[in-house]
Amino acid sequence: MKEMLLAAQRDGYGVGAFNIVNEQTARACIALAEEMRAPMLLQTSMVPLSVYGPEGMMDLLRPLAEKARVPVAVHLDHCTDPDFVKRCIDAGFTSVMMDASKLPPEENIAVTRDVVDYAHARGAVVEGELGAIVKAKDDLAARQSGEGAVSLEAARDYMARTGVDAFAPAVGTAHGLYRGEPKLNFELVRAIVALGMAPLVVHGGTGLSDENFRKLIAAGASKINISTAIKIAYYEGIAGYIQAHPDEKEQPLAIDQAAIAAVQDVVRRHIALFGTAHRV
């Protein structure tokens, strides 16, 4: 992951980090990455891992990533349990996110530093989070008031003391579907990137306008997370097919293909928007 993000930061584009939930979504994402000659991050969150387990998930994803004709890295998204993060590293994840952002700052730094040391000793890299990247369903006014915001000084201290390889600060985005227009702090993004300490990650990408995506990438954001849009597309692909073909109850593979096509529409749009196409 780190090499991908440093290249993106240098050349002014963003790498899409797409949250997959199973083999179908993983294959859909990789196929689009190959078609568009784009580097890609496949992310998995704790929900799929509760089904597959870290070892089972890597048994699924490692061969797909290794056989891909473009660079594909497998990344653990938001995990609040340092022991589970270490288990994922041991299972073969080369990139992990230690999300200790809900802890007091000093505890966040200590927990994240411990995971960074563990990961680096095993050839893996770590993303860390500082500030409150809340749920989009939470009160928009509270987010726009600056609640949970990160200062440049706090960001510098966090990156210096943790040694994270990628940094996810609270800059006004949120997870899930926005209920209003988010107020993004582009100046803070530019200032953090200018420190040159770690590539910057944007969480809460689903629902941002094309203009905001472009402005974030122009400000220096290197990794853009897309999760909710993938899940919605997967669901709507299946639901749409079943609604249009109510009597085709013996065609499960056709349902899979409908879901894959819907997911690929989302991935295709974001790869093009982020400027990642034809980078490899």
Active site residues: 77
The structure tokens listed for 16 are 């899409």
Cα gap 31→108, rounded to integer Å:
37
Those residues with Cβ within 8 angstroms of residue 134's Cβ, 6 or more apart along the chain or in another chain: 142, 143, 148, 174, 175
Strand 166-169 and strand 95-98: pairing? unpaired
**Identity at 154, one-letter amino acid code:** A
51: how many CB neighbours lie within 10 A of its CB?
10
Tokens of 176: 């899930």
DSSP 210: H
Residues in the chain: 280
- DSSP structure string for 113-152: HHHHHHHHTTT-EEEEEES---BTTS-HHHHHTTTT---H
